[in-house]
Structure 1
C-alpha cells in the first residue's frame, strides 16, 4: 500500500492536505503543528472513529479529542495505491453521533465504487491486519513505544508460527478456561463453595431440627408441672381471701364506732368555739398579718425619725458654715456685689509724698532749664519752654503715681481687715463659696422639712392602724388593750381553730375508712367461725403465684416458639433428600473442575511450547536491529509472550531487564522490537506502511543516524512516515533524492 495524499478536516486541521512520496517520508514540524493529528487521521481514515468510546478520567475519546476546532463536521480523504488498484477513500460525518461514519471507496479518477470494500473492513482489507495489530506493530508513537499484549496480535503471531489459523489466542482460551474454573471455585466463591455452604446449612438444619424436637418435649413437661403448681397456689390464695374477709367484718364495727366518736368530738369543739365567739381563720390570719405590718410600720417610723435627726444635724452644720463666712447675714447676690465693688470704696490715703514731690519738683525744673541753657550756650526761649514743659510733665506724672500707690495701699489695708486677704480673686472666690454654703443650707432645711413630714405621716398611720386592730380584737376579747395582748389572744384563737380543724379531719378520715371498709366487706351471711387462719402470708402466696405464672407464660411461649421453629425447619426427610441431591451435584462439579484444571495445564504447556518457538525468532531479529541502532553495544534481546524485554550487553552474559536501561536505550529497544514485529507479523504482500510519531525524540545524534539509515533500508519495500519535531532528521538526508522530506508550518513546504 502506498499513500499519495491525505486531506483532512480533523482536530486543528481545517481542509489541510499532506503529500507523501514512496519509501521514507520525513515530515518535520514544530510542536502543536498537527503531527499527532495527522497520525490519528491516518488511523481513522483506515479503521474509522469509535463512536461508542467515552471520556473518562485522564482520557479523552478520539471523537471528542479530534473534533474540528472550527465546528465543522469531521471528514477526510486519502488517495492511495493498493493491490486493488489506485483508490480514493473518503469519510464524512452525516450524524453527530457517528463521526466519519459515512464511508466511500472508489477507483481513482472515477466514481466507480470498489466492490466489497466497506468502512468497517477497510483497514483490515487493505492492510491485511486488524486495527489492534496495526496499532501494536506499525503504528509507533513516542508515548506508546512499548508493546502491549493483545489477543489480535497474539492470534497473528500464532498463525505465523503454527498452523496458520488466526482464530487461536492463548489469552482468550486461558481466560475462557479460567472463567469456567472461577465459576466453579474461586477462593470462597463459585458453584462448589455455594454447594458446600448449602450442604453445611442442610446439615445444620437437620441437627437443629433434632435439637428442637428434644427441647419441645422438655418445654411441654415443664408447662404441665407449672400449671399444677399454679392451681395449688390459687386455691391457697382463695382460702387467704376468705380469712381476710372475715377479719374485715370484725374491723368494720370498730371503724363505725370510731367514726361516731370522732364526729361527736368535732361537734363539741365546734360548739365551744361558737360559745366563746372565736373568729374564723380568715379573720385571725388577717389581724395577725396586720400586727406584723404594724411592726414593719414601726420600724419605718423609727427609720424616718432617725433620718430627720440626721437632716437636722446637717442643717445645723450648714448654718454654722454660713455664719462663719465674712459675708454672713447677706444674700449670695449682695455678697457677689460687695466682692466686685471693693475697688470703688472710699479709703483714707496719705497725700504728703505727692505734695512734697510737687514742691521739690517745680524749683528743680527751673534749675534744670537754666542748666541746659547754660551748657548749650543758647538763649532760645523755645528750648527753655520745652525743657520746662518736660520737667513739669515728669513732676506731675510722679505725683500721680505716688497718689495711686497711696490709694492702693489704703484699699489693701481695708480688704485685709475685712476679708483677711487683699487678693481680689480670693475675695470673689469667698463670695462664690458663700453662695454655695447658702444653697447647701437651704437644701438641708428642705430635707429636714420633708423628712419631718414623712415621719409624722408614718407615725399617724401607725397610731391609726393600732387603734383599728385593738377595736376589732376587743369585739371577741374585751381584755385586749395593747398590741402584744391582742397578738397573744389571736394566737390562742388560732390554736383553738386548729384543734377544731384536726377534730373535723379525724372525723372525716374515720368516716372514709368506715365507708371504704363497707365497700370492701364481704357479703353478709358468710360464716366466720369456719374459716381457718392461713399458714402463710398473703404476700408470700401472691409472690410465689406471680413467679409461677410468669414462669408458666415463659414456658408456654418457649414451647410455642420451639413448635414454630420445628415447623419452619422443615421435614427431616425432605432435608435429607435435599442433602443427597446437593452431594451428587457437588461430586459432578468437582469432576468438571478437575477436568478444567487438566485442560488449563495442557493449554499452558502448549503456550510454553508456542512461546519457545515464537520468542527466539522475534528476539533474534530484534537483537539485530537493536545492535544496529546502538552501534553494536548490545548482542541479544529476549522477550516472553507478554512482551517483557531484556537486553544482553556485548561482553556481559547477564541479560538486563528493560527497566534498567536509560530512557533513550529503552526507546531504541522498543523500536527494535516493534520493527522486528512488523517484519514478522505484517503481511509482506500488503506492504503495510509504518508510521512513527516522534519515535526518535530520545535518541542521541549517533543512534538517531543509525535509526534513520535502518529506516531508509526498510523503506525499500514499504512506505515509512516519520513525523518529527527536530530538524536533524531532515538535515541527515539533505540532498538525498530517495528520501522525501517536508516541513509543516501553516502549509506543507518541500525541502
Structure 2
C-alpha cells in the first residue's frame, strides 16, 4: 500500500498545497516552520481523524491545526492498496468532533466504498489502531520512544503470534479482567463489594451501639420527664393562686377608679352649677351677654367717643364762626355808614353839579359825573357787603344744622347702648359707667369660660377613667365593696412574682416538650436492635463468601502471570531477534543483542564488556537507534510480510552523527524497496547522502 497524492485545502498554516508521492523513498525537505510537521499531522488526521481531548495545544491536533480564520480544516488523500486499487479519503474538520465530515471514495468511479471505515479508515487499511500506528510506522520529531498504551494492542498481537489467531485473546486483557473483578471486590479507594460490605457492617455495628446508647438515654429522659410534669403541676397551682390574688387586686384597682369617677363627677356637677349661676347673671330674657355683646357695646362706645369728638370740634368751629360773624357785622355796620355817606355825597355832588352847571357854568356838569361815580361805587359796595353778610349767615346756619345732626347721632348711640345695657343693670347709666360695667361683664364671662374649660378637662379625665364602662353597672358592682383587700394585696409583688412563675412555667413546658420529642423521635427512622443484629449476621456471611472468591482470583492471577512468563519466552525471543538484526545493521554490528520487556523497556547486551545495560546509560543517538529498530521490528512482526505499510518519519535522525545517518539511510533505502517511506527533514545532509542512490523522490516545501 502506498500514498499517492496529498491535497491540503486548509490545515494549520498549509493552504492549497498539492503533493505527489511515489513508491520507494520520498524525502520532503523544508526549513523550520515550513510546515513539515503539519503535513505529517495531516496524513495521520486523514487516516485516523482528530480524536485527542487533551487541553494542551501541543497534544491536541484539533486545537493546534484548525485555521485561525474560523474556516474548517479540509483535504484529500489518495492511496493505492496492495491490489492496485486506488481510493480517495476526503475529510473536513470542525471545531468539535460532531462537525467533522469523512468519506472514502473509489478514485476511478467516485463511489463511496463500503469495506473501509469512513470515520477511521486507518484501521481498515493498515489493520492498526491509532496508538499502534503512532508506535510503529509513524515517527514524530524527537518522539521515537515506545511505551505501552492503555489498550496494549501491540503486546496483544505479539502474544497471539505464538498462541491463538483470535485477536480478542490477550494476556493483559485477561489480567485486566481479573484485576477488575478483584477491584470490584476490594479496592484501595474502598469502592469494592467487600469494602462496601465491611463499611456497611461497620455502620450497622455503629448504629447498633448507638441504639443501645439511645435506649439508655430514653430511660433517663423518661424519668426526668415524669419529674418535670410533677413540677409543672405544682407550679401551675401556685400561678392559679397568684392569678386569684391578681383578680382581687384588679377589683380593688377598679374600685379606686370608681371612687375617682365619683370625685370627678361631683366636681363636674359643682362646676355646672356655678356655670348656671353665671349664665343667669349674664342673661335677661332671650338676651345673653357674650363676647359679641361686649364687643358690640365696646364698638358703640368707641363710635360714641368718635362722634363726641366730632361734635365738640363742630361746636368749637360754630362758636368761632359766630364770633367772626359778629366781628364782621360790626365791621360791615361801620362800612354801611360810610357807604351811605358816599351815596349821599354822590347824590349831593350830582345835584350840585347839575344845579351849578345850569345856573353858572357848564363845566360844573363834570362834578355831576364824579357824583354819579361815587354813587355807583357806594351802591356796589353796599350790595357786596349785603351779599357777604348773607353768605356768612348761611354758613352759620349750615354749621348749626350739622351740629344738631351730630348731637342727635350722639344721643342715638347713647340711647342704643343704654337700651342694651339697661336689662342687665338697674338704675340710670352714665357714659362714664359703661367701661366698669363692661369690665364686670367680661370678668363674669371669663369666669364662665374658665369653668367650661375645667368641665371639659374633668369630663375628658372622667371618660379616660371610665374606659367605655357603664358607670351605673360599676355602681351596682361596688355597692357593698370594701377596701379591706388593700391591706393584704401588694400589686407590684404579685405582678413580679406572677411574671417570674409564668416564665418558669414557659421554660418548664419547653423542657417537657423537648423531652417528649426526644423520647418519641429518638428511634424515628432507626431499626430496632434485633433487626440490626440479624443484618450484621447476613453481612458477615456475604463478606465470607466474597473473601473466598477473592482468594480464588488471587490464585487465578498468579497462575495467569506464570503462564504469561512462559508465553513471553516464546514471542520475546523472536522480537529480540528481529529488533536485534535491525539494530545490528544500523549500528554496523556494534550492538546486536537486546532484551525487551512487556512494558517495552529495553536493555542492551554489551558483548565487549559482557554486561546487560539499561538503555538510560547510552547516548541520545544510540537511544534513537534502538527505538527506531524496535518500531520497525514490531511493525514487521505484527503486520507480516503480506502487507506493505508506508513508514512516515519527521526529522527522526537529528541526533545522529554522519556514520549513524549513513547506516540508517542505507537501511531505509533497502527497506523502501518493499515499503513506501515518507521522510520529512530540515537537513540537507540527508539529500546529499542519498543523491548517489537511484529512485529517490525529493519534494521541496
Please classify the TM superposition score into its range, dividing by the shorter chain length.
0.5 to 0.7
Gaps spanning 5+ residues in structure 2: where?
276-434, 440-449
Note the alpha carbon deviations across 1:252-288, whole angstroms, 9 max, x for none: 5764687589889999999xxxxxxxxxxxxxxxxxx
How big is the shift at 1:167? 1.9
| TM-superposition CA deviations, 1:388-420 (whole Å, max 9, x none) | xxxxxxxxxxxxxxxxxxxxxxxxxxxxxxxxx
Matched with 1:734 is 691
Match of 1:468 in 2: none
Structure 2 match to 1:91: 89
- 1: CA distance, partners of 2:233 / 2:592: 102
| TM-fit CA distance, 1:695 | 1.6
Residue pairs, 1:740-751, within 5 angstroms: 740-745=695-700
Q: Secondary structure at the match of 1:91?
A: strand
Within the candidate set 642, 650, 654, 2:599 is matched to 642
Query: Are the aligned partners of 1:138 and 1:690 in contact in 2 as well (CA < 8 Å)?
Result: yes
Matches within 5 A, 1:299-378: none
Q: Which residue of the partner structure matches residue 642 of structure 2?
A: 685
Whether 1:559 aligns to 2:516 is yes
Whether the 8 Å CA contact 2:182–2:550 is kept in 1: the answer is: yes
Structure 2 residue aligned with 1:231, among 228, 233, 236? 236
CA drift of 1:6 comes to 0.5
Instruction: Give the equivalent residue in structure 1 for 2:633.
Output: 676
3-state SS in 1 of match to 2:161? helix
1:134 paired with 2:130, answer no
Contact 1:13-1:34 at 8 Å conserved across structures: no
The counterpart of 1:187, out of the listed 176, 186, 189, is 189
Q: Per the alignment, in what secondary structure is the counterpart of residue 691 of structure 2?
A: coil
Paired residues for 1:583-594 under 5 Å: 583-594=540-551
- Paired position in structure 1 for 2:504: 547
Q: Show CA shifts across 1:145-200 (max 9, x none).
A: 12131321111111134445432334434443444444444423344444444444
2:20 aligned partner = 18
Cα distance in 1 between the residues matched to 2:683 and 2:482: 129
Deviation for aligned residue 1:716? 5.8
CA distance in 2, matches of 1:661, 1:135: 24
Task: Identify which of 696, 721, 734 aligns with 2:653.
Answer: 696
Q: Which residue in the other structure is 1:711 paired with? A: 668
Task: Give the whole-Å Cα distance in 2 for the aligned partners of 1:71 and 1:159.
Answer: 42
Distance between the aligned counterparts of 2:476 and 2:249, measured in 1?
Answer: 9
Partner of 2:6: 8
Aligned residue pair count:
525
Tell whether the 8 Å contact from 1:92 to 1:102 is kept in structure 2 after alignment: yes
For 1:572-587, list aligned pairs within 5 A. Answer: 578-587=535-544
CA distance in 2, matches of 1:588, 1:524: 93
Change (3 A) 1:250 1:713: closer
Distance change in 2, residues 1:33/1:515 (3 Å): closer
Query: 1:503–1:727: structure 2 CA closer, same or farther, 3 Å change rule?
Result: same
User: What are the equivalent positions in structure 2 for 1:383-462 lying under 5 Å apart?
Assistant: none
Aligned to 2:679: 722
Please state how far the C-alpha of 1:680 moved relative to its aligned partner.
3.4
Kept in 1, the 8 Å contact 2:48–2:121? The answer is no
What is residue 394 of structure 2 aligned with on the other side? none
User: 2:86 aligns to what SS in structure 1?
Assistant: strand
Residue 146 (structure 1) aligns with: 145
Q: Deviations over 1:342-365 (max 9, x none)?
A: xxxxxxxxxxxxxxxxxxxxxxxx
CA distance in structure 1 between the aligned counterparts of 2:221 and 2:648, rounded to whole angstroms: 83
**Structure 1 217/703 Cα, relative in aligned 2: closer, same or farther at 3 Å?**
same
The TM-score, its normalising length taken from structure 1, stands at 0.54
- Contact kept in structure 1, 2:104 and 2:112, CA below 8 Å: no
1:691 CA displacement? 3.0
Cα 1:135–1:528, aligned 2, differ >3 Å: closer, same or farther? same
SS at match of 1:684: coil
The 8 Å contact of residues 48 and 119 in structure 2, kept in 1 or not, is answered as no
Q: Give the Å deviation of 1:112.
A: 12
Distance (whole Å) between structure 2 residues aligned to residue 103 and residue 578 of structure 1 = 65
Distance change (3 Å), C-alpha of 1:25 and 1:550: closer
The C-alpha deviation readout for 1:224-253, integer Å capped at 9, x for no partner, is 314422432233224423542564477457
SS of the residue corresponding to residue 142 of structure 1 reads: coil
After TM superposition, give the deviation of residue 136 of structure 1 in Å: 1.6
Provide closer, same or farther for how the CA distance between residues 515 and 741 of structure 1 changes in structure 2, counting only shifts above 3 A. Answer: closer
Paired residue secondary structure (1:668): helix
Which has the greater radius of gyration?
2
Contact 1:27 1:743 in 2 (8 A): yes
- Alpha-carbon distance in structure 1 between the residues aligned to 2:69 and 2:488: 112
Contact 1:54 1:60 (C-alpha < 8 Å) held by counterparts? no
Find the aligned partners of 2:464 and 2:114 in 1 and give their Cα distance: 120
Q: CA offset at residue 704 of structure 1?
A: 0.8
Give 3-state SS (helix, strand or coil) of 1:545's partner. helix
Other structure's SS at 2:523 match: helix
* Range that drifts further, 715-724 or 116-125: 116-125
Q: Does structure 1 residue 655 correspond to structure 2 residue 613?
A: yes
Task: Report the 3-state secondary structure (helix = DSSP H, G, I; strand = E; otherwise coil) of the residue aligned with 1:166.
Answer: coil
Give the C-alpha shift of residue 555 in structure 1: 0.8
Aligned to 2:106: 104
Question: Retained in 2: the 8 A contact 1:157–1:681?
Answer: yes
Q: Aligned partners of 1:181 and 1:100: how far apart in 2?
A: 42
